[in-house]
Each structure stands twice: as C-alpha cells, then as structure tokens.
Amino acid sequence: MSLTVLGDLNWLAVIVATIAYFALGTVWYADHAFGRAWERASGWDLNKPEKTSPVVYLVPLATCFVLTLVTAMIGAASDTDTVMEGLLLGLVIGVGIASPVRFVTGAYDMTKPAPITFAAIGAGYHVVGLTLAGAILGQWT
C-alpha cells in the first residue's frame, strides 16, 4: 500500500463515518449507558464545569478521524466494498488493534480505582465505533 490510496478514498464517507464514531461517544459515555461506571472506574468527577475547553471535544474527534482514515485506507487496500465487509473490517480493527491497545494502556493504570473496568468501557467504545465506521465506509466505497 502507498499513500496514493488517499486520493482514491471517498472523503465524504470518511467524514460521515468519523462523525458517527465520535457521536457514538455521546451515547456510550452518557450517564444512562456507561458514563457513571466509567466515571467511577476512572476516579474522576466529571460534573459539568462552567466553562469547557474545546480540546475536550477536539482530541477525541481527531483520534476518531485518524482511526477512521486508517480503516478507510485498509478498506481500500483490501477491496472492502460492501456493508458487511466494512462491518467485518471495522470489527477486526477494533478487536485486533484498538481493544488490545486500550487494555494495555488502561488495565495497568494503577492510578484508576478500577483499571479493568476503565479499559473495558473504552475498548468497547472503540470496537463498536470502528465497526460502525467500517460499515459506513464499506457502504459508500
């Protein structure tokens, strides 16, 4: 694979998949889903501050973009061109790359009250998010 694959990508699909992946976080980390458990596991008090820095949103958006872009590049290199192929690609990248990375960095963070729970919630988000992004990319390729 070379970087020329960037010219072959459906950039609208990359943007939409990035937004869907990022938006999943608003549901995933909401109080009614995993938000309270994640907050307890992290040891952080995440009560809304009066003024939130844009960095709180820009860093996760940027990481979702990078992960989606890499998924799109691998999809292009492997001729992924259906929803099911994209879904499988996203699942494989999520389970095979994102989840282990999240676990190795999160499960051994002894500054957290429940590092395994903290890592599992984050890993789950990336597995589901990349599967969603892969499905979108596969559909629009």
Q: What is the pLDDT of residues 38-68, one digit of tens each?
A: 999 998 776 666 677 888 889 999 999 999 9
pLDDT at 93 over 70: yes
Q: Give the C-alpha separation, 85 to 130, whole Å.
A: 13
Q: Which two tokens stand for residue 48?
A: 């809304």
**What is the mean predicted confidence (pLDDT) over 103-119?**
91
**Which pLDDT band holds residue 24 (cuts at 50, 70, 90)?**
very high
pLDDT at 46: 64
Q: DSSP alpha helices (H): ranges in the chain? A: 11-28, 36-42, 55-77, 83-93, 99-106, 115-140
pLDDT at 66: 97
pLDDT at 75: 95
The CA–CA distances, whole Å, from 69 to 19, 43, 96, 134 equal: 12, 32, 17, 10
